Amino acid sequence: MAADPQRRDSRPIVWTIGFFVVALIVYFVLLGQRGIDLISSGTVAGIGLGIGVLILPFIGAWMIIATLRAGIEHQRLARIMAEEGRELDVSSLPRRPSGRIEREAADELFAQVKQEWEADPSDWHNTYRIARAYDYAGDRSRAREMMKRAVAQFHGKSS
């Protein structure tokens, strides 16, 4: 099977993500040590600040895990959509010099995908496609919201 010329090598991205995760883990360990040092001071303020500082690595770890899980799930859906041939084809749409799709073309694509989604909003394929259309149209918050919904639908959860 020949390599797809459109498919980019994901290794640099994976290595960068791995580097940042390791760097954050080191930072969390240092932060935890600083929290223990503050608690060890024995003062009321030190103990209070130390407890607060010790909470931060747990929040950070939760954020890393949640972000990585979401990214993995989004990639999984993207792979399935590509295998099924249902990914949005934007190769022929006009682009700005920055590489972004021209606004009018993105809006036209969105209107088409929205009709598909409105016909069957419970199908995760349609929800995934509208999430991508929102992204191409520049509405990142709605794109994230719909992608979360697509993942939930894929796993059979109500959304």
Given a cut of 80, whether residue 157 has pLDDT beyond it is no
pTM of the model: 0.74
159, 153 contact by CB (below 8 A): yes
38, 53 contact by CB (below 8 A): yes
Given a cut of 50, whether residue 81 has pLDDT beyond it is yes
| pLDDT band, very low/low/confident/very high, at 102 (cuts 50, 70, 90) | confident
What gap in Å lies between CA 58 and CA 90, rounded to an integer? 40
| pLDDT band, very low/low/confident/very high, at 2 (cuts 50, 70, 90) | very low
The candidate with the shortest Cα–Cα distance to 154, out of 82, 68, 83, 80, is 80
| pLDDT band, very low/low/confident/very high, at 156 (cuts 50, 70, 90) | confident
Listed by start position, the domains of the chain span 13-84, 103-154
Write down the mean pLDDT value for the chain: 89
Q: What is the pLDDT of residue 158?
A: 58
Is pLDDT larger for residue 83 or for residue 3? 83
For the stretch 51-79, pLDDT in tens is 999 999 999 899 999 999 999 999 999 99
Identity of residue 27: Y
18, 31, 32, 48, 58 from 55: Cα distances, Å: 23, 10, 8, 11, 5
Main-chain dihedrals φ then ψ at residue 101, nearest 5 degrees: -70, 140
Q: What is the pLDDT of residue 3?
A: 47
For the stretch 17-28, pLDDT in tens is 999 999 999 999
Given a cut of 80, whether residue 131 has pLDDT beyond it is yes
Mean pLDDT of 90-116: 89
